[in-house]
Structure 1
Amino acid sequence: MQHKVIIAGGGTGGHIFPAIAIANALKKIAPEIEILFVGARGKMEMEKVPQAGYKIEGLDIAAFNRSNMLKNLTLPFKIIKSLNQASSIIKRFQPNAVVGVGGYASFPMLWKAQRKGIPTLIQEQNSFAGKANKQLGRRANRICVAYDGMEKFFPSDKLILTGNPVRSSITQSAVTRQEALMHFGLQDGKKTVFAFGGSLGAKSISEALRNILPQFVEKDVQLIWQTGKLYHDTAKAAAVPYASHVKVFDFINLMDFAYKASDVVISRAGAMTIAEECLVKKPVIFVPYPYAAEDHQTFNAQALVSKKAGLLIKDSEVGKELGTTLFSLLQNKALIDQLEQNIEKLGNSNADMVIAKEVVKLMG
């Protein structure tokens, strides 16, 4: 009998990349398995999933809008419509299991699957579970998590500590530091910092960096700076006098190169970003995005800081504190070594396989 699985969710790279990693692992275990992705229409999964070689269908669903309450007036209708769409996808595709990776499309698909008696698995990436997953967790068969202490959100008998799946371009990268530095037009033998704010960039981090650009040249430290599209032109113009040491990009596809070239990383604290940083064993200065749902990025970062596996600067303080924290860390070899050793202990390179095996078990 051919098994069929729906993987639902998306909205950001942080949900899409683990979903694709799980799908690839499922295909390795059972090549004959049929996988259908379900995402939100107009979101990046509708492009990224077909690029990875999988079919995807879209639901008409959006998130609750915290900044413009008027936009929420149509939300009840979108939820009803997406639940009906989820129902008809299940009826047509007849899945043996449904996996939710978080993001808009996850809720309607899992909600409908649970009410139709189809086994469901939740992959909760953050250290602080969102409202939708907490509700779905009551009826889910398995809940795969990346952090300790998740029984405060979910029934403990359903929890499996798997870690977060990381894309294979990072886990299987063979690039050397020299090749990585050459790729960015940087010199070997100099301290190098990689700063990024996720796929969309982070304005507060970029503005803090812009203010300390002269120090990179003064202290002979190199910077790989991923800005996101919105800040790219501003950053590019600001970096012109410091071009020998500062390289500006709106988006970096070869993340394994950027990690390999760097001595210290500055980033947001999304769950997938952290999962990658654990595997590449880099000292990180976290600047959590303060408007993430339930402030989950701060909880993610604090989970590492409490284990001496990272440093944290509040978003509101980054303009004042980034320069001092960054350049004193670069001088402190003992602290760099401690952060590297502790973050490495939290890495999990086979989370995708562990989760895929759980999905197969659910299908019997």
Structure 2
Amino acid sequence: MKRIILSGGGTGGHIYPAVAVAEALGRHYGANAELLFVGAEGKMEMEKVPALGYRIVGLPIAGMQRRLEPRNLAVPFKAVLSVLRARRIIRDFGADVVVGFGGYASGPVLWTAQRMGVPTIIQEQNSYAGVTNKILARGARRICVAYEGMERFFPADRIVHTGNPLRGRFCKQGADRGEALRHFGLAAAKPVVLVVGGSLGTRTLNEMMKAWVLSLGGAPAPVQVIWQTGRYYEREMREFLAAHPTDGVWQGPFIDRMDYAYAAADLVISRSGACTVSELCLVAKPTIFVPSPNVAEDHQTKNARALADRGAALMVRDDQAVASAMPLAVGVLGDPARLASLSRGIEALAIDDSAERIVGEIVKLIG
């Protein structure tokens, strides 16, 4: 029986890659492996992971707030307690390997495992490594990455280019486009832009859509839009569109059929989180990235820049997107050669077996 600890959380970008690897481990080992997730108490992984059928235990770890707050005083004590608890978890579980996917809990779990002589693997989703992973990489046996050039941050002899593991199956062929258009109530005669900013949405992309609708002045839109507002902004944007009705715009707080959204879209405007970038590579969609400026170490800009510098995507800064992103999208849709070039460029970066590649590295370490 192989015993494997997976640690990642805080956001879906850390949780779902870990779950994708757990699913691949299940396919590889079947009943011959026992998996345990380790997360941070009070974070979303403590609900999401059990809902998917996996066992999880929590650590009291917390991050330092940027502003001066009294709760920052407890952070060092929580870190020490988390290390002590991680030691007990690893010992009692009898872990053969620990795999970290980022998030608060990964730090103490991997750090402790390395000092206990348990092999560790890091999965770095972004093109710019965070401080914690740079430190942990010194003791890691493998560092699984999604971007080229990561030897800037990690020992080159331990880097393995695996891509980012994703749940579900994303591919260029995907769903039937006719079905997808009917699902959103769109026509085949006009191109489609997919505007997506995550489950909570993004103020910038929603303001971009409002500015574009107002710029039409009631005239027919040159393109159709699938507009995901996010739950947080749903009511405000629904009321806006009711006051400014525009043909060919589907609007909703979330998209339950992303396969249809990708099949219908001729171009995507999106944030540039690591898993989103990997999805877009697999579906080979021409993309304009609008990186969020409100993330650690500005990693979304670095993710987008890694593609833009290779001609695999376009990038618009967050503070310029409201005025310029939709006009850019309309212009690109009028240039078939540019669309085709962007599609080829982003498809060349796709890796469709990332989870299996990471499982292969786990198998090598534990036999």
TM-score tier, shorter chain, comes to over 0.9
Native 8 Å contact 2:172 2:282 kept in 1: no
Match of 2:18 in 1: 19
Q: Which runs of 4+ in 1 moved over 4 A?
A: 67-71, 171-174
Shift of 1:197: 1.3
Match of 1:120 in 2: 120
Change in Cα spacing, 1:80 to 1:171, as seen in structure 2 (3 Å) is farther
Does residue 1:244 correspond to 2:247, yes or no?
yes
Native 8 Å contact 1:309 1:343 kept in 2: yes
Does residue 1:260 correspond to 2:263, yes or no?
yes
TM-score computed with the length of structure 2 as normaliser:
0.94
SS at structure 2 position matched to 1:187: coil
Shift of 1:333: 1.1
Does residue 1:223 correspond to 2:225, yes or no?
yes
SS at structure 2 position matched to 1:151: helix
Q: Which amino acid letter does the alignment assign opposite residue 8 of structure 2? A: G
Change in Cα spacing, 1:111 to 1:174, as seen in structure 2 (3 Å) is same
Match of 1:151 in 2: 151
Selected match of 2:275 from 265, 272, 277: 272
Task: Report how many residues are paired.
Answer: 363
Counterpart-to-counterpart distance in 2, 1:309 and 1:71:
43
Q: Which amino acid letter does the alignment assign opposite residue 81 of structure 1? A: L
Selected match of 1:336 from 333, 336, 339: 339
Change in Cα spacing, 1:174 to 1:325, as seen in structure 2 (3 Å) is closer
SS at structure 2 position matched to 1:36: strand
Native 8 Å contact 1:97 1:119 kept in 2: yes
Native 8 Å contact 2:220 2:247 kept in 1: no
Write the deviation string for residues 40-91 of structure 1: whole angstroms up to 9, x where unpaired.
2222222222232211112222233235655423221221222222122112
Counterpart-to-counterpart distance in 2, 1:54 and 1:243:
45
Superposition CA RMSD, Å: 1.8
Match of 1:186 in 2: 186
Q: Which amino acid letter does the alignment assign opposite residue 313 of structure 1? A: V
SS at structure 2 position matched to 1:165: coil
Which shows bigger deviation, 43-52 or 97-106?
Answer: 43-52
Which shows bigger deviation, 163-172 or 275-284?
Answer: 163-172
**1:137-216 alignment, distance < 5 Å:** 137-171=137-171, 174-214=174-214, 215=216
Write the deviation string for residues 294-336 of structure 1: whole angstroms up to 9, x where unpaired.
1111111011001101010111111221232121111111111
Does residue 1:30 correspond to 2:32, yes or no?
no
Counterpart-to-counterpart distance in 2, 1:250 and 1:344:
28
Match of 1:360 in 2: 363
Counterpart-to-counterpart distance in 1, 2:208 and 2:239:
15
Q: Gaps (5+ residues) in structure 2?
A: none
Native 8 Å contact 2:20 2:166 kept in 1: yes
Native 8 Å contact 2:222 2:330 kept in 1: no
Match of 1:130 in 2: 130
SS at structure 1 position matched to 2:185: coil
TM-score computed with the length of structure 1 as normaliser:
0.95
SS at structure 1 position matched to 2:233: helix
Write the deviation string for residues 126-177 of structure 1: whole angstroms up to 9, x where unpaired.
0100000000000000000011111110111100111111222435985211
Match of 1:287 in 2: 290
Q: Which amino acid letter does the alignment assign opposite residue 11 of structure 1? A: G
SS at structure 2 position matched to 1:230: coil
Counterpart-to-counterpart distance in 2, 1:118 and 1:274:
32
SS at structure 2 position matched to 1:242: coil
SS at structure 2 position matched to 1:65: coil
Change in Cα spacing, 1:171 to 1:282, as seen in structure 2 (3 Å) is closer
Match of 1:324 in 2: 327
Native 8 Å contact 2:199 2:231 kept in 1: no
Shift of 1:7: 0.5
Does residue 1:85 correspond to 2:75, yes or no?
no
Which shows bigger deviation, 326-335 or 47-56?
Answer: 47-56
Counterpart-to-counterpart distance in 1, 2:135 and 2:226:
41
Does residue 1:298 correspond to 2:301, yes or no?
yes
